[in-house]
Amino acid sequence: MSPKETVISLYAAYASGDAKRISDLLHNDVVWVAPPGNATQVALGLGKPEDAGAPDGSNNLTHREIVQFMAHNFSRLFQHAKNEFSSMVSEGDSVIAEHRISARLPNGRSYVNDYCFAYEVRDGKIWRIHEYMDTHGGWAQIFGQDEPKQLIEFVDQ
């Protein structure tokens, strides 16, 4: 499987919520790097608003946490999510995917945000995930003027 096919397979597994399929596509040493204190992590109780800033490794997700997020937590936070891809480009072991997620949140708010993910594939599996998104827009949509707080408990099955 090419790196691009591996990433496409991960998105399909992610959409299915199948923990084993997700896990099998992830390298044992996979790391997901996202902006600290982002609204998704705060809403899941995995970060605090005061953590916001440039990625510093403090909130990187490991293999187990990625599987748990993709298989059990994403659909609970982003209900009825729709994923629309605008581009996916691959060169060597790197794959860049741009897409928009539209969903309903547990607090009843609508959510629409654009994302760019940079994937690195090693040994045929996803080794690095670097997430880029509109953190301010995501924050405003998830919390609005409300006090930022955990919306759902992160399930670790």
Give the integer Cα–Cα distance in Å for 55 and 7: 22
Looking at residue 125, what is its pLDDT?
Answer: 98
Q: What is the pTM of this model?
A: 0.92
Is there a domain that residue 153 lies in?
no
Is 12 within a domain? yes
Radius of gyration of the chain (CA): 15
In the prediction, which pLDDT does 21 show? 98
- Give me the CATH number covering residue 20: 3.10.450.50
Nearest to 35 by CA among 94, 116, 99, 103: 116
Q: Say if CB 117 and CB 20 are below 8 A apart.
A: no
115: containing domain: 3-143
pLDDT tens, 105-155? 999 999 999 999 999 999 999 999 999 998 888 889 999 888 888 898 898
What are the pLDDT digits (tens) for 21-75? 999 999 999 999 998 888 998 899 888 888 887 888 888 999 999 999 999 999 9
* Residue 97 falls inside a structural domain: yes
Number of structural domains, the chain? 1
Separation of alpha carbons 124 and 29, rounded Å: 13
